[in-house]
Amino acid sequence: MSTIWLQPKTLPEALAMLAADPALTPFAGGTDLYPAQAARFAWGEALPEAILDLGALPEFWGIAADATQWRIGAGATWAQLRDAALPAEFDVLRAASCQVGGAQIQNRGTIGGNLCNASPAADGVPPLLALDAAVELASLRGTRTLPLGKFLLGNRQTERAPDELLTAVLVPHRAGDLRSGFEKLGARHYLVISIVMVAAMVRMEAGRIAEAAIAVGACSAVAQRLPALEAALRGSRPGEVAVTPGQLDHLAPIDDARATGAYRREAALVLVRRLLARLALPEALVA
Amino acid sequence: MSMSVTLTVNRVPHTVQLDDPRVTLLDLLRERLDLTGTKKGCDRGQCGACTILLDGRRVNSCLALAISHDGAEIQTIEGLAEGGALHPVQAAFIAHDAFQCGFCTPGQIMSAIGLIDEGQAGEDPERVREGMSGNLCRCGAYRGITEAVIEATRSMAEDAQEKAA
Ligand SMILES: Cc1cc2nc3c(=O)[nH]c(=O)nc-3n(C[C@H](O)[C@H](O)[C@H](O)COP(=O)(O)OP(=O)(O)OC[C@H]3O[C@@H](n4cnc5c(N)ncnc54)[C@H](O)[C@@H]3O)c2cc1C
Ligand code: FES
Ligand code: FES
């Protein structure tokens, strides 16, 4: 069988191709797809037969703000997110972007690919959960918007129908004294898959935490927010409320080659405490 | 499915017929254009030995499909030296013994050129190490690599100043 490679020049063209053949594999940066395929190929399995190359879609790349929200094109690369002039609540996503792979991966890997690949260790997920992000999915049938937490169903499982493309990530505007940050634990400093990562965004008001959003990744099939801790922090002064293991009870970290579940649980607690302490510092305002 | 792709590699245009769309830029450079300076270490994005500049940005050529980049400008290690004069990054790698076996070196040098051009790391060793983290060196020549990148950053900035003056 001969292979198929299609490179649509517009989104409607891409959606028509996908509707005609939902078996087409969308290809953005290829940094998840290609290594996985190459590994399978090395074991004697065939590479995918039909590729839908998203690289020439003009609608895919931009980062822009309208009256209500930020719209990050699904094809925005980590390098774009790292270098874009975005407000303080995005520090969390900027910090994550700097820590995805090395610079070569950051130049090619996209946020849309990271979300659609739906790895439990995807570094883009906790920051976007903390920012209450939604994803936009388009098909010939129409466009729908889903909160990120509803889009991600499990390890490598999403709500995306075979004829849909993820077109954008939507983040609501926020105002006030916002601080956000990211902590990633890996087996070495750089170029490493996360053992645990924590993302947090807090809004301060008159020295108190008016709002807190905290998400932990790689400790469950899909990264999770910490609602009990967020509720406890609301209205408190920084450092006043202790972070307790009970607030992380709903996480379900597994044992794997990178760490044991018990280690992950302990590390998550430490990282949450460390990140909140860092965001409480006055310097966090200028960082 | 037969198709062709035109790429400008080290300022020379090449048109290559592909019989399969899944050929990577790395395989095209090595197997079709006989430019074997770009190395294949892992073929899955993890080692950086295959780093090239694609439209001026450093990427892993093992992860890019050649067919996707019709019309692109590519720079590889073979295109750096001009008329026998080494590129400043090549010269700095030699001056600082920034290698042992040399297998990772073409990728390290292309990555360093990308890093210096991005202009974010400057002469801060920690930022240089972070910026070069996509390139592994199994001989562990990291110390020399970091020194070489810093020296090249400095010498290239001085050259640019002299030219401007
Ligand atoms: C060496 C190395 C280091 C890495 N380090 C990290 C890391 O530190 N943290 C991390 O989170 N990830 C890491 N990754 C994984 C990967 O780089 C990221 O997940 C990246 O963001 C994937 O984006 P992509 O555009 O390359 O996706 P692709 O490989 O192009 O696609 C990934 C999946 O999403 C689908 N897809 C892509 N775009 C769309 C779309 N718009 N609509 C529908 N489906 C789509 C594809 O069909 C495929 O199934 C690393 C990978 C490598 C090779
Ligand atoms: S060969 Fe491309 S990164 Fe290793
Ligand atoms: S010099 Fe041998 S791998 Fe770097």
What is the four-CA torsion angle of A223, A264, A89, B118, rounded to 10 degrees? -100
The answer to whether residues B46 and B69 belong to one domain is yes
Give the span between the Cα atoms of B56 and B159, in whole angstroms: 20
Question: Can you tell me the distance from the alpha carbon of B78 to that of B12, in angstroms, rounded to the nearest whole number?
Answer: 12
Residues B75 and B92 in one domain: no
- CA B45 to centroid of ligand 2, rounded, Å: 4
Tell whether B125 and B148 lie within a shared domain: yes
Q: What DSSP state is assigned to residue A89? A: G
Give the closest of A39, A107, A191 to B58, CB-based.
Answer: A107
**Contact at 8 Å (CB) between A112 and A55?**
no
B93 CB under 6 A from ligand 3?
A: no
* Contact (CB<8Å) B111/A191: no
As for how many domains chain B has, the answer is 2
What is the per-residue pLDDT for A1?
Answer: 44
CB contact under 8 A, B1 and A3: yes
Q: How would you class B139 by CB atoms within 10 Å of its CB: exposed for 0-12, middle for 13-18, buried for 19 or more?
A: middle
Instruction: Quote the crossing angle between the two packed helices B142-164 and B105-118, to the nearest 10°.
Output: 50
Could you tell me if B50 and B28 lie in one domain? Answer: yes
The per-residue pLDDT for range B87-129, each reduced to its tens digit, is 999 999 999 999 999 999 999 999 999 999 999 899 999 999 9
* pLDDT at B33 > cutoff 50: yes
Q: Are residues B160 and B100 in the same domain?
A: yes
Q: What would the two tokens of residue B25 be?
A: 């830029």
Instruction: State whether B44 and B18 are in the same domain.
Output: yes
State whether residue A190 is helix, strand or coil. coil
Domain end position, chosen among B79, B109, B129: B79
Q: Which residues contact B107 (CB under 8 A, 6 or more apart)?
A: B38, B39, B41, B47, B48, B49, B50, B51, B135
pLDDT, tens digit, 9 for 90 and up, residues A36-47: 776 666 666 666
Q: How far is B165 from chain A, CA to nearest CA, in Å?
A: 30
Amino acid in the structure at residue A156 = R
Residue A45 and residue B45: Cα distance in Å, rounded?
19
Q: Starting from the edge strand earliest in sequence, which strands make up the sheet with A177-185, in order?
A: A177-185, A196-205, A208-217, A224-225
Q: How confident is the model at residue B164 (pLDDT cuts 50, 70, 90)?
A: confident
State the pairing for strand pair B12-18/B57-60.
Answer: unpaired
- What ipTM, to 2 d.p.? 0.94
Q: How far is the CA of B111 from the centre of ligand 3 (A)?
A: 14
A177: which DSSP letter?
Answer: E
Optimal mutation site among A51, A78, A104, interface B, most CBs of chain B within 10 A:
A104
Q: What value does the mean pLDDT of chain B take?
A: 96
CA distances, A284 to each of A90, B38, B59, B151 (Å): 13, 43, 33, 33
Min Cα distance B27 → chain A (Å) is 13
Which atom of ligand 2 lies nearest, measured to the CA of B61? 2
Cβ atoms of residues B121 and B92 within 8 Å? no
In sequence order, what are the residues at sequence separation of 6 or more whose Cβ sits closer than 8 angstroms to the Cβ of residue A11? A57, A59, A60, A138, A165, A167
Nearest CA in chain B to A42: B43
**Contact (CB<8Å) A190/B65:** no
Residue B160 sits in the same domain as residue B93 = yes
- Does residue B124 share a domain with residue B152? yes
Q: Do B57 and B74 share a domain, yes or no?
A: yes
Give residue A283's pLDDT.
54
* A29 in contact with B, Cβ within 8 Å: yes
A200, A275 contact by CB (below 8 A): yes
| B38: CATH | 3.10.20.30
Distance CA A230, CA A228 (A): 5
Identify the segments of chain A with pLDDT beneath 70: 1-2, 38-48, 282-287
Chain A residues with beta carbon closer than 8 angstroms to that of B3: 5
Q: Are A208 and A235 in contact (CB under 8 A)?
A: yes
Query: Could you tell me if B46 lies within 8 Å of chain A, comparing CB atoms?
Result: yes
Buried b (16+ CB within 10 A) or exposed e, A59-84: bbbebeeeeebbbbbbbbbbbbbbee
3-state SS, residue A186: coil
Domain termination site, one of B45, B79, B113: B79
Q: For residues B112 and B71, state if they share a domain.
A: no
Residue finishing a domain among B79, B100, B134: B79
Domains identified in chain A and CATH numbers? 4-34+63-172 (3.30.465.10), 177-285 (3.30.390.50)
End-to-end distance of chain B based on CA atoms, in angstroms? 55
Q: Is B58 on the interface with A (CB under 8 A)?
A: yes
Domain that holds residue B75: 3-79
Give the span between the Cα atoms of A112 and B8, in whole angstroms.
29
CATH of the domain at B135: 1.10.150.120
Q: Which residues of B touch A113 (CB under 8 A)?
A: none
Contacts of A102 in chain B (CB under 8 A): 48, 132-135
pLDDT of residue A287: 43
Residue B131 with chain A: CB contacts under 8 Å: 103
CA–CA separation, A223 and A139 (whole Å): 27
Residue pair A74/A134 in contact by the 8 Å Cβ criterion: no
How many whole angstroms separate alpha carbon A115 and alpha carbon A96?
Answer: 14
d(CA B31, CA B25): 10
**Claim to verify: residue B93 and residue B75 sit in the same structural domain:** no
Instruction: Answer yes or no: do B156 and B92 share one domain.
Output: yes
